[in-house]
């Protein structure tokens, strides 16, 4: 990896963290988009796309909801993709690499968010003076701190790591790398379980199995399942919306879906 | 921009001119640029209020009061913040007029309303944008990308961001125009609750499908009984295809429900994979 490529990857790291900080979350921080971009920088778009897809599945449950700082998808995706391309790793090794990197990135994230207290106190002082542009400066100070930290994290990781990672991975015994490959097949289950926690309520559990049966037994792909899901959601919305108070609507919804199940 | 003229039409000297609307809209993006743990998105919130505040309070003393007010703790889902921004601008404007007419008013109630709105809005925002829209977009995008086509990331990007930008833009308009009453009406009419419910249903269908297509687990074990060998995976497949991934997913779900940390489960899975393949059960 050349220094220029490492710099570009570092800039991509800055862009990745800025997605949720400065740009308002366009999902540039997700592996599905960072993978191809990192691939483009290293001249292997194809591998970047495929790795991005695998990493997305593993990291699907990693989300920054509320005030907690999650494992860092940005550095994890970029560096894992970069190492996989430069050291010719297979997908499972790349996935296994992404996780410790994301944990390290999480630490950097926590440090920056703690350090930002400095800029918040600057903002307080600006407010005291009634100084509008002082608030602007404080905000962009925090933004700069985020960018620089993640640039440095990804840049140094890319520069130092690419030399070491290849040799390190060669040392891993075959049983362990087989195990990593098995684990990378199982890890999407964690992401899916986290989503189930977010989505389940007492009434709607059955809809999980609608999707599961469609794909596992009938062989419909995810796009097809999404179309079926949209249809079901639309039908329920239309039947339930007509001027009912919230309590009545949600009480009735269970019955409605039961009726549909019977007809289908 | 047609509706915007309507907004301006309602009050002749409205603070929300086209220019200020545009500036405010762009300023809703860097909400978390100065995120810190004590007061979270507070600097970002104050930052979005500045174009309107500048016009309302050119005087330094008033500006100071208003800025301090909007530097209070704030946290919500970034893509839906503009509803609250719009409502807060509408309230600032109303309070300033009331004060000019000699009425007593307590500006701190603006913060009370912000605080009251940010939680419920984050609830909808998180379950819709994070829990449903992102999952559907990523599920479709990843299944295309796994085949190596650039369509995968593109579809993901568009599916997520078209609704995201629409909600952000319309949210600022609606928040300003009907202020708090709009959100209250939505909540009372049950539309928000219903939308959240059906969004979750759609999300679950996709998640169920992804559980079947994206979790991979099988066993190479062969059991020999009286010289007859039985391939264990064939037994599983004859009961129900894909039963191992499904069982694994629900086992992990149970662990999470018991309050076991995600990172613990994550490393547990990796350990299980390595141990299992050393013993030879995977």
pLDDT exceeds 80 at position B216? yes
pLDDT at A253: 43
pLDDT exceeds 60 at position B2? no
- CA dist B110 and B88 (Å) reads 7
Distances (CA, A) of A45 to A10, A50, A65, B148: 18, 9, 31, 9
* B238: contact with A, CB 8 A cutoff: no
pLDDT at B262: 81
- Spell out which residues of chain A touch residue B35, defining contact as CB-CB under 8 Å: 21, 113, 116, 142
Mean pLDDT, chain A, whole residue set:
86
User: How far A189 CA sits from the closest chain B CA (Å)?
Assistant: 5
Closest CA to B222 of B212, B206, B235, B210: B235
Exposure string for A223-238, b = 16+ CB within 10 A, e = fewer: ebbbebbbebbeebbe
pLDDT exceeds 50 at position A18? yes
Helix or strand holding residue A13 (H, E): helix A3-21
Q: Which residue has the higher pLDDT, B25 or A185?
A: B25
pLDDT in tens, A80-125: 999 999 988 888 788 878 878 888 888 899 999 999 999 999 999 9
pLDDT at A64: 58
Residue A106: closest CA among chain B residues belongs to which residue? B263
Q: How many CB pairs under 8 A join A and B?
A: 396
pLDDT exceeds 60 at position B99? yes
Closest CA to B179 of B51, B92, B268: B92
pLDDT in tens, A221-264: 888 999 999 999 999 999 987 755 444 444 444 433 333 333 33
- CA dist B187 and A114 (Å) reads 36
Q: Quick one: average pLDDT of B258-281?
A: 88
Contact A199 B187 (CB under 8 A): no
Q: Are the beta carbons of A73 and A29 closer than 8 angstroms?
A: yes
- CA dist A179 and B258 (Å) reads 26
pLDDT at A243: 55
Contact A229 B205 (CB under 8 A): yes
Q: Quick one: average pLDDT of B111-134?
A: 84
pLDDT at B184: 66
Least trusted range by pLDDT, from A7-11, B149-153, B184-188 = B184-188
Q: Quick one: average pLDDT of B257-267?
A: 87
Q: Quick one: average pLDDT of B223-234?
A: 86
Highest mean pLDDT among A20-24, B99-103, B224-228: A20-24
pLDDT in tens, B181-205: 766 676 666 777 788 788 889 989 9
Prediction ipTM score = 0.84
Tokens of B194: 């219903």
Confidence of residue B226 (pLDDT cuts 50, 70, 90): confident
Q: Which residue has the higher pLDDT, B94 or A28?
A: A28
**Distance linking the first and last C-alpha atoms of chain A:** 57
Q: How many CB atoms lie within 10 A of CB A12?
A: 25
pLDDT at B9: 42
Least trusted range by pLDDT, from A45-54, A99-108, B78-87 = A99-108
Tokens of A53: 């897809």
pLDDT in tens, B28-69: 999 999 999 989 999 999 999 999 999 999 999 999 999 999
Q: Quick one: average pLDDT of B120-125?
A: 82
Exposure string for A56-90, b = 16+ CB within 10 A, e = fewer: bbbbbbbbbeeeebbbbbbbbbbbbbbbbbbbebe
pLDDT at B6: 44
pLDDT at A143: 97
Residue B198: closest CA among chain A residues belongs to which residue? A233
**Best A61, A91, A120, A197 residue to mutate vs chain B (most B CBs within 10 Å):** A120
Residues 108 through 147 of chain B touching chain A, CB cutoff 8 Å = 122, 126-127, 130-132, 134-143, 145-146
In sequence order, the β-bridge partners of residue B224 are B229
């Amino acid at each position: 990896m050349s220094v220029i490529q490492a710099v570009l990857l570092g800039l991509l790291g800055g862009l990745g963290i800025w997605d949720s900080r400065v740009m308002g979350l366009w999902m540039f921080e997700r592996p599905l988009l960072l993978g191809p971009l990192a691939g483009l920088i290293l001249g292997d778009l194809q591998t970047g796309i495929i790795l991005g897809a695998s990493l997305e599945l593993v990291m699907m449950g990693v989300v920054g909801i509320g005030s907690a700082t999650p494992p860092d998808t940005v550095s994890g995706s970029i560096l894992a993709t970069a190492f996989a391309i430069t050291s010719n790793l297979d997908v499972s090794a790349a996935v296994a690499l992404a996780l410790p990197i994301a944990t390290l990135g999480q630490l950097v994230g926590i440090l920056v968010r703690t350090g930002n207290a400095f800029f918040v106190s600057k903002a307080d002082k600006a407010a005291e003076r009634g100084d509008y542009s002082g608030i602007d400066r404080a905000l962009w100070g925090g933004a700069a701190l985020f960018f620089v930290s993640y640039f440095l994290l990804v840049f140094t990781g890319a520069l130092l790591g690419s030399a070491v990672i290849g040799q390190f991975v060669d040392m891993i015994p075959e049983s362990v790398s087989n195990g990593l490959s098995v684990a990378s097949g199982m890890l999407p289950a964690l992401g899916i379980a986290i989503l189930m926690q977010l989505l389940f309520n007492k009434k709607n559990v059955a809809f999980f199995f609608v999707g599961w049966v469609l794909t596992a037994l009938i062989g419909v792909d995810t796009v097809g399942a999404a179309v079926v899901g949209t249809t079901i959601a639309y039908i329920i919305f239309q039947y339930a919306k007509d001027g009912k108070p919230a309590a009545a609507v949600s009480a009735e919804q269970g019955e409605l879906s039961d009726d549909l199940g019977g007809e289908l | 921009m047609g509706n915007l003229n309507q907004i301006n039409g309602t009050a002749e000297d409205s603070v929300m001119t086209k220019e200020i609307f545009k500036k405010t809209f762009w300023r809703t993006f860097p909400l978390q640029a100065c995120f810190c743990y004590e007061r979270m998105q507070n600097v970002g919130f104050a930052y979005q209020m500045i174009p309107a505040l500048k016009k309302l309070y050119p005087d330094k003393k008033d500006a100071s009061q208003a800025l301090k007010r909007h530097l209070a703790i704030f946290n919500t889902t970034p893509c839906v913040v503009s509803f609250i921004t719009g409502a807060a601008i509408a309230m600032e404007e109303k309070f300033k007029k009331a004060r000019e007419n000699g009425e007593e008013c307590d500006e701190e109630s603006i913060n009370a309303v912000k605080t009251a709105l940010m939680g419920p809005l984050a609830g909808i925002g998180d379950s819709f944008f994070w829990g449903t829209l992102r999952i559907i977009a990523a599920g479709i995008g990843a299944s295309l990308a796994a085949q190596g086509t650039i369509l995968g990331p593109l579809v993901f990007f568009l599916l997520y961001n078209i609704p995201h930008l629409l909600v952000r833009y319309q949210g600022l308009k609606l928040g300003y125009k009907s202020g708090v009453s709009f959100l209250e009406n939505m909540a009372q009419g049950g539309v928000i609750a219903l939308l959240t419910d059906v969004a979750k249903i759609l999300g679950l269908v996709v998640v169920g499908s992804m559980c079947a297509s994206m979790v991979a687990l099988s066993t190479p074990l062969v059991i020999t009984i009286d010289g007859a060998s039985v391939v264990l995976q064939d037994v599983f497949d004859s009961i129900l295809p894909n039963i191992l991934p499904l069982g694994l997913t629900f086992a992990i779900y149970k662990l999470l429900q018991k309050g076991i940390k995600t990172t613990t489960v994550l490393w547990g899975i990796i350990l299980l994979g390595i141990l299992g393949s050393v013993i030879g059960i995977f």
